[in-house]
Structures are given as structure tokens and as C-alpha cells.
Structure 1
Amino acid sequence: MRYCASCGSEYRDDIEQCSDCPGSPRLVEASEMSRRGLPLPHELDQRVFARAGTTDNPLMVEVFTGMLEERDIPVLVRAGRSGVVDKLTTGNLLPWWEILVPEEMRERAALLIERERAQEAATTDEAVRAAEEEERETERSSPPPPAF
């Protein structure tokens, strides 16, 4: 077998150039791939990813992803097929986004996501209380409107 050193595609021995890559680079033998430190297709990542959490909020997807990546947990985000139309036509009630991590890191990631979710909820509640208090203070300190 021969391989493209750019994309790693595998070809029959009678093929000379990669048909997938721009510029159609010449193919090399497995020994050349090894010499260059490039993995063969069967040596690529074989991890199994599992659901660590879900969310309907696109901003929280970014928050969760960033938080997990900061802790060196690889993340894949998969959009579910959910929405008003899907629920009406298919009954599909999947969450909008699934947060997937390597299976062996799932429990740790799920715990981190729940902690982040609880912290976000507490921050939101605190912001609501502060806004309500500020509104009450503004109402008390502002003079009444002039009578006509």
C-alpha cells in the first residue's frame, strides 16, 4: 500500500498521486510515513467518545467546551436533531447539543459540567437579585413626576 504524506489517505500500489489533496502530492511507502513520523490510517485515534452533558443554550456549549479543554479533556460537540419542527414531525426530544468526551473521562467531565451549570445558575440568580434591588432603589430615590 501507498500513502499520502499530507492527508494520510491509503492507495493501491499502482496509484502515484493523491487525488484528495491540492497539488496531487506523490504517494509514499509505509516506511517513508514512519520515517517522517506520520501515522498510518490504522494507527489513528481509536478512542470512544461518550455523552458527558447536554444543553439547549449555544453560549453554554462554548463555556462547557472551553472549561473542559482547559482541563485537557478532549471535547466533541454534536448538534442533536431537535427543535420545534422536529418535535412536531418526528417526536424527537433530543437535546440540542451533546457534549462528548473520551469514555474514560466521562464521569470527571460530567461532574465539571454540573459544577459549571450550578455556578452559572447561582450567578444568574445573583444578577437578578441585584437588578431588582437597583430598580427598587431607583424608584425610591427618583422624585415624583410633576403634576399638570
Structure 2
Amino acid sequence: MKYCMQCGSEYQDGVKECADCPGNALVDAETMRQHHVALTREQDTQKFVRAATAEDPLTADDFVALLEKERIPVFSRPRRTGTVDVLTTGALEPWWVIMVPEEFQERAIQLLSREKSTLDATSDEAALAAEEEELETEASASPPGAL
């Protein structure tokens, strides 16, 4: 059997290219394993563990995209808290869990840690720029009642 490195589809030995991923040559099972890509029949046996959490769905999407780019199998899921937390904070889904296969956990944690640092730095810069823009807007605005 041959497999597509991009989507993992399985093909008979005579097929040369993936029907779903044009241009992707097919490889054997050993090559798939060397690149840590699970075979279709093995995907259900992977144990997924937490690599990170995200405070909002946009950050979770960013984390997932980064891991997918690095060819690390990943999924995120909203995590609900207890009833008391919902009553006191009003948040139904305050954070998301980023899950990866056990064998990718260490690498995923390193990648996501770097990405979180980058996002935090960018967030601080964006907040400072917004404050400066607001001060400039207030300074240039005409006083109330003036024409």
C-alpha cells in the first residue's frame, strides 16, 4: 500500500499520485512512520494529551494552525468549568485545550510556548499603540459644543 503524506489517504501500489492532493507523490508505510504521520488504520490508536491551553478561540485557532504547519496532529476543544464558575464569572467556555499525540507533546509545548511569547509581545505593543492613538484623537478633537 502507498499513502499520501499530506492527507494520509491509502492507495493501491499502482497509483502514483493522491487524488485529493494533486502533485503529492505517494510513499510507503515506513516513510510515513519516519515522518511521524500516522497511517489511516493507526490513527484511532493514538493517545492525545494536553500541549497547551488558550484563553480565546482565536488564540486556539492560531495554535492549531502552527501545529498543523509543523505536521503535528492536533485538535482543540472548548473546556467547560464547573457550575459555580459559570455563575460567578459568567463564562461558559473560558479556555480551550490544545491536544496532540503523546509522542509530539514535548515538541508542541516548545513551539506553542514560543508562539505564546510572540503573541503576548504583540498584544502589549497593540495595546500601547491603541492607547497612543486614543490620546492623539482626544487631543485633536474639538471641545464639546464647538463648531
Q: Give the shorter-chain TM-score range.
A: 0.5 to 0.7
Q: Does the CA contact (< 8 Å) of 1:75 and 1:101 recur in 2? A: yes
TM-score by length of structure 1 reads 0.57
Code of the aligned partner of 1:44? E
Give unpaired runs (5+ residues) of structure 2. Answer: 1-10, 14-40, 88-92
Paired with 2:86 and 2:141, the residues of 1 have a C-alpha distance of 49
Paired with 1:135 and 1:81, the residues of 2 have a C-alpha distance of 36
Paired with 2:97 and 2:119, the residues of 1 have a C-alpha distance of 18
Paired with 1:129 and 1:69, the residues of 2 have a C-alpha distance of 31
- In structure 1, the partner of 2:42 is 44
- In structure 2, the partner of 1:79 is 78
SS at match of 1:100: strand
Q: Does the CA contact (< 8 Å) of 1:80 and 1:95 recur in 2? A: yes
- In structure 1, the partner of 2:100 is 101
- In structure 1, the partner of 2:139 is 140
Q: Does the CA contact (< 8 Å) of 2:75 and 2:100 recur in 1? A: yes
Paired with 2:47 and 2:117, the residues of 1 have a C-alpha distance of 28
Paired with 2:77 and 2:96, the residues of 1 have a C-alpha distance of 6
Q: Trace 1:52-63 onto structure 2 (pairs within 5 A).
A: 52-63=51-62
Paired with 1:66 and 1:52, the residues of 2 have a C-alpha distance of 14
- In structure 2, the partner of 1:114 is 113
Distance 1:115 1:82, change over 3 A: same
Code of the aligned partner of 2:71? D
Q: Does the CA contact (< 8 Å) of 1:54 and 1:95 recur in 2? A: no
TM-score by length of structure 2 reads 0.57
Q: How far did 1:109 drift? A: 0.4
Paired with 1:123 and 1:71, the residues of 2 have a C-alpha distance of 22
CA RMSD after TM alignment: 3.0
Q: How far did 1:115 drift? A: 1.4
How many aligned positions are there?
104
SS at match of 1:72: coil
Q: How far did 1:106 drift? A: 0.5
| Larger Rg over CA atoms | 1
SS at match of 1:79: strand
Q: How far did 1:48 drift? A: 2.0
